[in-house]
Amino acid sequence: MRSCGFSFRNISGDRVSGGSGTVAMESYGSIVLQIEVPIESGNMLDLEDGLQRALNEAGQLGTKELLELFEPPNKDPIVVNQQKWSYKGKVLKRYETMYGCVPMERSVYQGVRGVKLAPLDLPTGIVGSATPKFAKTLAWKYSQMPAPAVKEDFATNHQRTLSNSYIKHLSDRVGALIEDQKGIEYVLPLLPEPVTVRNRMP
């Protein structure tokens, strides 16, 4: 069993640890992912499995960076479907992706009668807790084969462990939820000045 570690700097320049790759924002509009895969086996299949694990971990890091691009730029009230929503704080959500589960503290807002929403989930097309790519891929696989075969496919080919019930549940939600989100009008507060990102390599 291989073991490896990583460190990366996110957009704010903070150092984070706990995986097997490096993420650096080279310039505004691009993300650089760098991984390290130790060679600790003479078996090619084991090496390929290790490479896929490292790629999945890098994919989780990259997906988190991409999700953060859709976070509101400040704590000002926002307007969704012509209704005003006020900032309430950050709440942890675990997003399911092609590469694994991505925990993320995202902004939550409250509207009338105490109803809450996370603006990030709207423009990104999140289906429940699944990113659109993961939801689309899973739903397509389920349209081609039964849930047990989809479960085996994800475990064997993507190193992702899913339950039959989750596969069925997400597949049932994909079409309806994506259709519902098409009519949502989402307005972010404007930034006082353009965002610039300074190159900060680890």
Q: Would you tell me how many other CB atoms lie within 10 Å of the CB of residue 121?
A: 18
Which parts of the chain have pLDDT scores under 50? Answer: 1-18, 200, 202
**Residue 124 in contact with residue 186, Cβ under 8 Å?**
no
Check residue 7 and give its pLDDT.
Answer: 34
Check residue 139 and give its pLDDT.
Answer: 94
* Among candidate residues 129, 133, 126, the one with its CA nearest the CA of residue 184: 126
Structural domain spans, the chain: 7-68, 78-187
- Which burial class, exposed, middle or buried, applies to 169 when counting CB atoms under 10 A from its CB (0-12, 13-18, 19+)? exposed
Give CA–CA dist 7/132, Å, rounded: 27
Check residue 5 and give its pLDDT.
Answer: 35
Task: Output the 3-class SS for 145-170.
Answer: CCHHHHHHHHHHHHCCCCCHHHHHHH
Check residue 4 and give its pLDDT.
Answer: 32
- Which burial class, exposed, middle or buried, applies to 194 when counting CB atoms under 10 A from its CB (0-12, 13-18, 19+)? exposed
**Residue 109 in contact with residue 88, Cβ under 8 Å?**
yes
**Residue 150 in contact with residue 162, Cβ under 8 Å?**
yes
Check residue 3 and give its pLDDT.
Answer: 31
- Which burial class, exposed, middle or buried, applies to 131 when counting CB atoms under 10 A from its CB (0-12, 13-18, 19+)? buried
Give CA–CA dist 37/53, Å, rounded: 9
Tokens representing residue 73 in the block: 């730029």
Check residue 186 and give its pLDDT.
Answer: 56
Distances (CA, A) of 73 to 91, 147, 152: 16, 40, 40
